[in-house]
Amino acid sequence: MHDAHFPLTDLLFGIPALLAVGLYIEAVVLTNRRGRLRKWPWLRTLSFVAGVLFAAAALVGPLARQSHADFTAHMAGHLLLGMLGPFLIALAAPMTLILRSLNVHLARKFSRLLQSSFVGFFTHPVVASVLNIGGLWLLYTTDLYAARHSNFSLHIIVHVHVFLAGYLFTISLVYIDPVFHRFNYTYRTVVFILALAGHGILSKFIYAYPPAGVPVEQARIGAMLMYYGGDAVDLLLIFILFKHWYQSVRPRKLVSMAGKAV
């Protein structure tokens, strides 16, 4: 991608990021003004802002420019855009906030959209995993990685895909927002393990077989960053998934124990 395109990408990615933060904060103010007993948690707002800023850092500014020529910087951006950013945004429960801030009529329409088969398809754990991990395999094991440097439209599409696929993958595994197409914990855990394996094998493949045009040393550092940095974010996902699983089982165990005691 030519350097002249960077101001345009700053606008294409920077403005939506600022709008997202502004709209989220406005929705928080609106829902808190409605006199609900429970105010919107400030930690969720902080998580959303941090998630958007981390994702934007991969697309706007010094890291975005450096990643064009340095694979290690590119991989750092991938972790921010496709893993950490989506994870923090998912924790902020944006769909719940939208439902709380809309009037009843619009909230019902939005709820029907979330219940639709279209949303259900893309939030299916297997589909989301294929879009996320499969997309990375396609990017780094074909000519796509090199092609995006010279094709501005492809550059935009790839980055949008990485972010959306990362977000869909996260919300398909951990249920923070309302979920109308639910899968049990065992099923999600098995899919998660397979996705982890796919991500780990890809990082080792990149280490051994760098993408076209990437120096070996940069590829190896980038692959290690992908492997260990990805593990760090995945550990957070594992913690939340297993915490929810434990919380879902614990009440039944307590009731069972109480019944036996009687």
Please report, in tens digits, the pLDDT of each residue of the chain (262 residues total). 555 566 788 888 999 999 999 999 999 999 988 766 678 999 999 999 999 999 999 999 899 889 888 999 999 999 999 999 999 999 999 999 999 999 899 999 999 999 999 999 999 999 999 999 999 999 999 999 988 888 888 989 999 999 999 999 999 999 999 888 899 999 999 999 999 999 999 999 999 999 988 999 999 999 999 999 999 999 999 999 999 999 888 765 544 544 444 3
Q: How far apart are CA 175 and CA 30, in angstroms?
A: 24
Q: State the Cα–Cα distance between residues 244 and 236, nearest whole angstrom.
A: 12
* 3-class secondary structure per residue, the chain: CCHHHHHHHHHHHHHHHHHHHHHHHHHHHHHHHCCCCCCCCHHHHHHHHHHHHHHHHCCCCHHHHHHCCCHHHHHHHHHHHHHHHHHHHHHCCHHHHHHHHCCHHHHHHHHHHHHCHHHHHHCCHHHHHHHHHHHHHHHHHCCHHHHHHHCHHHHHHHHHHHHHHHHHHHHHHCCCCCCCCCCCHHHHHHHHHHHHHHHHHHHHHHHHCCCCCCCHHHHHHHHHHHHHHHHHHHHHHHHHHHHHHHHHHHHHHHHHHHHHHC
Q: Give CA–CA dist 161/134, Å, rounded.
A: 11
b/e map 88-117, b = 16+ CB within 10 Å:
bbbbbbbbebbbbbbeeeeeeeebeebeee
pLDDT of residue 212: 85
Q: Where are the domains of the chain?
A: 3-249
Tokens 């929705």 belong to 27
Q: Which residue has the tokens 């940095």?
A: 229
Please report the pLDDT score of residue 38 as a whole number.
78
Contacts of 240 (CB under 8 A, 6+ apart): 91, 174
